[in-house]
């Protein structure tokens, strides 16, 4: 039986809400954005009910199902980053990259697996695309940790 931590389920459910999150975050449902402000990033994290810490301007740390995640908001692009203290093989990482889309995995200089995802805003995206990016990250972290054999 596959048991999902309650926090991960709550976060995933909250992500679904992002498709309809607070009108104050967006003026018009069809609005195309090319840059995401710090304020709007924080509103999204709050809508997800994520307890986060701003570690530097535009960089947020939070737990996702017990795993530490960073979100870098550079204004015109967003990046999620998570590093795991679980040894795995390069072959497992390559299997992930060959079979999954929207994220990339690699082994860092210490041999720890890392998962990343980027969203470029410069060409313009909808808030729905941003919400999907967050939902995809939640799902990817869960699946990646299962893929490398990491359990809480």
pLDDT tens readout for residues 49-74: 889 999 999 999 999 888 899 999 99
Between these two residues, 6 and 76, which has the higher pLDDT value? 76
pLDDT of residue 4: 47
> Strands of 59-64's sheet, edge to edge?
52-56, 59-64, 67-73, 77-83, 113-120, 104-107
- The predicted pLDDT at position 47 comes to 82
Residues 6-147, CATH architecture: 2-Layer Sandwich (3.30)
**Domain locations in the chain?**
6-147
How large is the greatest C-alpha to C-alpha distance in the chain, in angstroms?
A: 46
83 close to 108: Cβ distance less than 8 angstroms: yes
Q: Residues 90-136: pLDDT tens digits? A: 999 999 999 999 999 999 999 999 999 999 999 999 988 998 999 89
Q: Is the pLDDT of residue 24 over 70?
A: no
pLDDT at 111: 94
pLDDT of residue 31: 83
């Amino acid at each position: 039986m596959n048991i999902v931590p309650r926090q991960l389920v709550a976060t995933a459910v909250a992500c679904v809400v992002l498709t309809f999150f607070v009108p104050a975050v967006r003026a018009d449902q069809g609005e195309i954005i090319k840059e995401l402000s710090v304020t709007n990033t924080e509103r999204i994290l709050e809508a997800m009910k994520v307890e986060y810490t701003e570690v530097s301007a535009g960089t947020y740390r939070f737990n996702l199902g017990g795993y530490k995640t960073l979100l870098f908001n550079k204004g015109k692009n967003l990046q999620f980053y998570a590093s795991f203290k679980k040894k795995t093989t390069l072959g497992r990482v390559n299997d992930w990259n060959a079979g999954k889309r929207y994220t990339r995995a690699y082994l860092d200089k210490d041999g720890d697996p890392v998962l990343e995802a980027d969203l470029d805003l410069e060409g313009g995206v909808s808030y729905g695309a941003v919400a999907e990016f967050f939902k995809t990250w939640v799902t990817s972290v869960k699946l990646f940790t299962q893929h490398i054999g990491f359990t809480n």
